[in-house]
Amino acid sequence: MPAVDKLLLEEALQDSPQTRSLLSVFEEDAGTLTDYTNQLLQAMQRVYGAQNEMCLATHQLSKQLLAYEKQNFALGKGDEEVISTLHYFAKVVDELNVLHTELAKQLADTMILPIIQFREKDLTEVSTLKDLFGLASNEHDLSMAKYSRLPKKKENEKVKMDVVKEVAAARRKQHLSSLQYYCALNALQDRKRVAMMEPMIGFAHGQINFFKKGAEMFSQNMNSFLSSVADMVQSIQVELEAEAEKMRVSQQELLSVDESVYAPDFDVAAPQINRNLIQKAGYLNLRSKTGLVTTTWERLYFFTQGGNLMCQPRGAVAGGLIQDLDNCSVMAVDCEDRRYCFQITTPNGKSGIILQAESRKENEEWICAINNISRQIYLTDNPEAVAIKLNQTALQAVTPITSFGKKQESPCPSQHLRNVELENDKMVPTAAVPVPDADELIAPGTPIQFDIVLPASEFLDQNRGSRRINPFGETEDETFPEAEDSLLQQMFIVRFLGSMAVKTDNTTEVIYEAMRQVLAARAIHNIFRTTESHLMVTSQTLRLIDPQTQVTRANFELTSITQFAAHQENKRLVGFVVRTPESTGGEALSTYVFESNSEGEKICYAINLGKEIIEVQKDPEALAQLMLSVPLTNDGKYVLLNEQPDDGSPSENRGAESEA
């Protein structure tokens, strides 16, 4: 079929089937062009929308680059270089944003607007003329049908003329509409080619201007800047690769360890325990009561900080205080059929918290660390050395050698303290005596008692007979009638460490050996809990009093105390030997070991003074001479144990004077 360029206007009036067939071809072409134009407009609008989004995106990008400086990063490594570089990039992005805005405006004017005008003007005009042509053709067909129905008979001339005029008007109207329609279809063929190329010309010019201005912007300075930034990024990448390789090697080394380290309790038989810790951290299970009889266990991270035990839940920023460890006691306990449990007890004797470790090693190290902290070792200049020294002293029980005795070549001056102080506070050396063996002092395997032999109630019952016990737990004055008229009343704050039977009381070495064995047994068996008491020294007795209830826990006649001494290195350790009768007629010897808040020598001085008072009490002149030789305070009421009292706590200052 030969190509048809246009519709012939001369054939519009005849409106032959051939013309109508050709018209349908042009109409089909116009419909296809309309669909394509709509799709093309959508594509161009998408490009325009993307360009507008690029403007908004570059503007947002510039704001985010500048916002980096305001971010509060926890780790700020290399932030100065990054901030300066991002500031420069933000400036470049702002300039690019201006170019993108100009390009979006050009696309709207030179690409989107022409295609919209073509669709709204040409394609809409063709569609409108098509509708008018159809209406005119229908009117012509109706008028011709009416004209064709005129009868053959002679009819009214007026009706005939009206029908003829109606046909003529309809035909004229159809002719006019067909001519306009044909002209629009013919013109559409030329407008189609212009409408397809004009928007793309505008698009191309806009892109060319954009890239030209962009090339002018990215001058030689920008190229050098990008080169320096690229070099910096490359150097960082090299460092990152080196660090990644180092971490990979470290990871392989960490993973190459024995599988036993992942087991929580792999070395149960002989764990390597560090007993000199003054700091400790790790996960423990905390026991909490949820009801009258129900409890829960929660796994939390615990750590020590100074004299405090802190707890930090997983995910928390910082830890919180759980327990003040100063002067607290800690000991292993059995709790709910769980292993490795220990309890921290407050200084006033109230039960504190119960914790569970994951292994025997962790359990014992936590107990040792808390015990070291409770002694306030962390306040010393060299806490590690102090902890090592104390634990070495306690663990010397592994050998039968009397370490305390070997260090002393002369008798202890504790029992002669008063005479020593009167002689310029210096010891008078005596001849060295041989140090007996440990087996000669204490029988091997002798049990150690870590609590007072007689509880307060039992002791009072023995002293009072069948008398009624005071419900408030207070000792009646009649129980100890010497309290009011005693020539000596001296109060000390002490903690009972232990007592054990001994073989002899002929030397103070038995006291040193008892100290060594008691401390060693406490360290080996993790027994760190002690009870604070008041030790009252009078001119007749030595009494151990409960500070809370004022109930006397134990009472020793001074005449039954045969030896007493303070440790030469740990000045706060003091002990004495008591001789008591047995039911079989013999006598038993027991050594009691205490830890005092003040110096043990002061307790020894008070005991020695009481024993001297007992010796001279029957001779008034000798007693008066003795009391005159005792240094007193200015008011003459208290015995002055030390002319230069130590700067200590109120309890220590109270222990430095005695009522006479």
State yes or no: pLDDT of 660 exceeds 90. no
The tokens for 387 are 């902890």
Contact predicate 537/494, CB 8 Å: no
> Residue 574: what pLDDT?
94
Tens digits of per-residue pLDDT, 463-496? 444 444 444 444 444 444 444 456 778 889 898 9
Contact predicate 497/593, CB 8 Å: yes
> Residue 476: what pLDDT?
42
> Residue 406: what pLDDT?
38
Residues contacting residue 587 through CB under 8 Å, at least 6 positions apart: 579, 580, 581
Strands (E), 539-643: 541-545, 552-557, 561-566, 573-581, 587-596, 638-640
- Tell me the domains of the chain and their CATH numbers: 17-150+159-218 (1.20.1270.60), 281-391 (2.30.29.30), 489-629 (2.30.29.30)
State yes or no: pLDDT of 259 exceeds 80. no
> Residue 4: what pLDDT?
61
> Residue 395: what pLDDT?
56
State yes or no: pLDDT of 127 exceeds 50. yes
DSSP 176: H
Query: Among 41-55, 114-128, 221-235, where is mean pLDDT lowest?
Result: 221-235
State yes or no: pLDDT of 34 exceeds 90. yes
Tens digits of per-residue pLDDT, 343-368? 888 887 777 789 999 988 899 899 98
Per-range mean pLDDT, top range of 69-83, 153-167, 185-199, 615-629? 185-199
> Residue 308: what pLDDT?
92
> Residue 631: what pLDDT?
62
State yes or no: pLDDT of 113 exceeds 90. yes
C-alpha pair distances (Å), 651 with each of 324, 494, 648, 660 = 20, 10, 8, 19
The percent of residues above 70 in pLDDT, for the chain, comes to: 80
How many helices (H) does the chain have, and how many strands (E)? 17, 17
426 sits in which H/E element: none
Mean pLDDT for 38-58 is 94
With both helix axes pointing from N to C terminus, report the angle between 360-374 and 383-394 in degrees, rounded to the nearest 10.
Answer: 110
Per the prediction, the chain carries an average pLDDT of 79
State yes or no: pLDDT of 51 exceeds 70. yes
Mean pLDDT for 145-151 is 84
Mean pLDDT for 485-511 is 86
> Residue 511: what pLDDT?
93
The tokens for 105 are 């405006």
Query: Among 158-172, 207-221, 275-289, where is mean pLDDT lowest?
Result: 207-221
Report the distance separating Cα 466 and Cα 474, nearest Å.
Answer: 17
Tens digits of per-residue pLDDT, 577-610? 999 888 787 888 999 999 988 888 999 998 998 8
The percent of residues above 90 in pLDDT, for the chain, comes to: 26
> Residue 522: what pLDDT?
82
Contact predicate 642/602, CB 8 Å: yes
pLDDT confidence of 12, banded at 50, 70, 90?
A: confident
pLDDT confidence of 420, banded at 50, 70, 90?
A: very low
pLDDT confidence of 268, banded at 50, 70, 90?
A: low
Residue type, 15: D
Per-residue burial over 17-36, b if 16 or more Cβ lie within 10 Å, else e, is eebeebbeebbeebeebbee
Contact predicate 252/258, CB 8 Å: no
Mean pLDDT for 38-54 is 94
Residues contacting residue 146 through CB under 8 Å, at least 6 positions apart: 163, 166, 167
Residue type, 545: I
Mean pLDDT for 382-389 is 84
State yes or no: pLDDT of 293 exceeds 90. no
Query: Among 308-322, 389-403, 557-571, 636-650, where is mean pLDDT lowest?
Result: 636-650
pLDDT confidence of 444, banded at 50, 70, 90?
A: confident
Per-range mean pLDDT, top range of 172-186, 439-453, 516-530? 172-186
Report the distance separating Cα 509 and Cα 109, nearest Å.
Answer: 112
Per-residue burial over 473-496, b if 16 or more Cβ lie within 10 Å, else e, is eebeeebbeebeebbbbbbbbbbb
Report the distance separating Cα 78 and Cα 535, nearest Å.
Answer: 66
Where is pLDDT greater, at 394 or 251?
A: 251
> Residue 486: what pLDDT?
60
